[in-house]
Structure 1
Amino acid sequence: MTTLEGLEASGHLVRIHVPLDGGEQVWRRLFGTPDFVKWLDEDLPQLVTTVVGGEISPFEQIDARFHEYVIGEHIQDDRRFKGLSWTPEYHVWEFKTLDIRVFGWAPSRDCFICAFGDMKDRIELMNAYGRYIAQTVYVRDNLPLDPPKFVASKDYDDVLSNAK
């Protein structure tokens, strides 16, 4: 078993760095699996918004959401960051934008591991929420992370603190 830092050093996890503006500091940590980071770097930039009149690309949407997360802004639960309540025992959370859903979990307060991302419309069309939840749990269970591997709560304040 190992820590997040050990998993990062071994290549099991990749720290997701978000560009900060002057005066901003990292408040929360964000990691991704290597497969997620590959999707983030290669697939996400190619996606096009499906929102009628949408001017912000899916890449820009995720960049903004991750920026909010990292600097410790309050993230409106249910609208932008949500514990998936229909499977509460799995403690899988999702980042939400107009076009994208990112599935993962909180191994500790103010830390999130991203496992999968996809277009919201595709997930809904394929009825794939259950599949992504199951895959996220599988990845988490097979990651050699010291226990506890996740925060066993659906309470925002147990998973996130706010810088402001």
Structure 2
Amino acid sequence: MRGDRGALPPIEQVTQRFHDFVTGRPLVYNQGAKNLDPMVDGVWELKTHDVRIFGWFAAPSCFVAVNGALRSALVSHARFTPFIEEVTQLRNNLPLDEPKFIPGGVLRNVL
């Protein structure tokens, strides 16, 4: 399955975004387009053109990806709620030292 507008297939978009992240390529661009957005409760949304990946930052530059969905299935932010809840439930159930995530939703604090 090709992505929208002839882009890479969604799985390849995710692979490329993770590669960009671990190799230190920028996820925020000068024109204001962001590929990483804070949600609520320390949950972040990592974006590709066709996919949204939800997780949290356990430490600076340490993104724990939990789940994701095709952008087309998330036509409103109301549909994000189950994904956010899954992230927070998993994180809360893990025996991690406190704080379990970097609070505040400030990009420079997590990258």
Which residue does the alignment assign to 1:118? Answer: 69
Q: Percent identity?
A: 31
Which of 84, 93, 100 is matched with 2:51 structurally? 100
RMSD: 1.9
Structure 1 position 145, deviation (Å) = 1.3
Tell me the alpha carbon deviations over residues 130-156 of structure 1, each in whole angstroms, 9 at most, x when there is no partner.
111111111110111122110012111
Q: Residue 73 of structure 1: SS of its match in structure 2? A: coil
TM-score (norm 2): 0.87
Q: Distance in 1 between matches of 2:54 and 2:105?
A: 14
Which residue does the alignment assign to 2:99? Answer: 148
TM-score (norm 1): 0.60
Which residue does the alignment assign to 1:79? Answer: 34
* Equivalent residue pairs, number: 108
Tell me the alpha carbon deviations over residues 35-76 of structure 1, each in whole angstroms, 9 at most, x when there is no partner.
xxxxxxxxxxxxx2451x313110111111111100112211
- Supply the AA of the counterpart residue of 2:65: C
Q: Distance in 1 between matches of 2:42 and 2:7?
A: 33
State the structure with bigger RCO (CA 8 A, min sep 6), 1 or 2: 1
Q: Higher strand fraction: Structure 1 or Structure 2?
A: 2
Alignment map for 1:117-136 (pairs within 5 Å): 117-124=68-75, 127-136=78-87
Q: In structure 2, do the counterparts of structure 1 residues 127 and 49 end up closer, same or farther at CA, with 3 Å as the change threshold?
A: farther
Q: Distance in 2 between matches of 1:109 and 1:148?
A: 13
